[in-house]
């Protein structure tokens, strides 16, 4: 309990000078890697059109998840800077491994979502093959994706998850005791990651449908999510975006 009560005082400390630069370097590297991958002969692996049951199915899945991870680092990690900055101040006298574990937990939650999206995509493709009129109108699938993402913006779950994401200190209060630093740091990253999933999965579903090489869309949606989660006007943007998507 004493550890928990001391947390606000610790949070007020100075931020380690190198940590923000490490995060910035990681994000910039991810953007650069996606751009280079997108203009390479292997850009097709960034999409979700290759079957996973073919001879190179496991390779296709591994490469897709690698691209997805790069996209999460590029798009979603910047939206978690408030949490990471607060945690860096809490553990400023400890090993940098703890900060890395928060990042790993956060990315791990989104990596699971990417895998689920990819597996669900196989089911959707099977449905398209079995319904000929739907297979002949692929634009309906894109419209359904936009409509689903738009409707989700109006749901109470979206509001609750967005509110939680905008208050990242709560995750540290709930999960950090300092007794098992490694597991607690990983738990903080996972918990915040799943809250972020609840807030942004529908928007990332649009990104999944567009393909991981669509850098203009990535930049636009990443900017929106960063504003939504980290600025005073962000909470008010979910309704206009929902209307626009629908």
List the one residue out of 207, 116, 211, 201 whose CA is nearest residue 152. 201
pLDDT for the residue numbered 205 = 87
Side-chain-side CA neighbours of residue 25 (13 Å): 5
Across the 246 residues of the chain, what is the mean pLDDT of every consecutive 10-residue run? 42 54 90 89 72 68 89 91 87 79 95 90 74 72 86 92 89 88 93 94 84 78 85 81 87
pLDDT per residue over 93-116, tens digit each? 666 788 899 999 999 999 999 999
pTM over 0.85: no
- What is the C-alpha separation between 211 and 46, in angstroms, rounded? 6
What residue ranges do the domains of the chain occupy? 2-245
- What is the C-alpha separation between 233 and 97, in angstroms, rounded? 34
Q: Which H or E run contains 160?
A: helix 156-165
pLDDT for the residue numbered 54 = 58
List the one residue out of 153, 156, 155 whose CA is nearest residue 242. 153
List the one residue out of 232, 170, 228 whose CA is nearest residue 199. 228
pLDDT per residue over 115-146, tens digit each? 998 888 877 777 767 777 766 777 777 788 88
Angle among Cα 227, 150, 68 to the nearest 5 degrees reads 65
């Amino acid at each position: 309990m004493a550890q928990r009560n001391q947390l606000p005082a610790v949070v007020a400390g100075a931020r380690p000078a190198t940590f923000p630069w490490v995060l910035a370097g990681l994000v910039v590297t991810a953007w650069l890697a996606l751009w280079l991958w997108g203009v390479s002969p292997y850009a097709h692996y960034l999409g979700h059109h290759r079957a996973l049951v073919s001879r190179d199915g496991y390779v296709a899945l591994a490469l897709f998840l690698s691209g997805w991870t790069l996209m999460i680092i590029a798009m979603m990690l910047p939206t978690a800077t408030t949490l990471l900055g607060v945690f860096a101040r809490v553990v400023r006298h400890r090993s940098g491994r703890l900060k890395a574990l928060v990042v790993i937990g956060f990315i791990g939650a989104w990596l699971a979502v990417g895998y689920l999206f990819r597996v669900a995509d196989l089911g959707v493709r099977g449905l398209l093959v079995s319904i000929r009129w739907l297979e002949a109108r692929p634009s309906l699938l894109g419209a359904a994706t936009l409509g689903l993402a738009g409707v989700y913006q109006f749901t109470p779950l979206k509001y609750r998850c967005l509110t939680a994401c905008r208050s990242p200190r709560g995750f540290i209060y709930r999960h950090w005791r300092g007794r098992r630093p490694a597991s607690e740091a990983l738990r903080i990253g996972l918990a915040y990651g799943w809250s972020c999933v609840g807030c942004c999965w529908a928007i990332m579903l649009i990104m999944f449908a567009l393909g991981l090489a669509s850098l203009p869309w990535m930049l636009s949606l990443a900017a929106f999510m960063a504003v939504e989660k980290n600025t005073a006007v962000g909470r008010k943007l979910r309704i206009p975006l929902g209307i626009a998507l629908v």
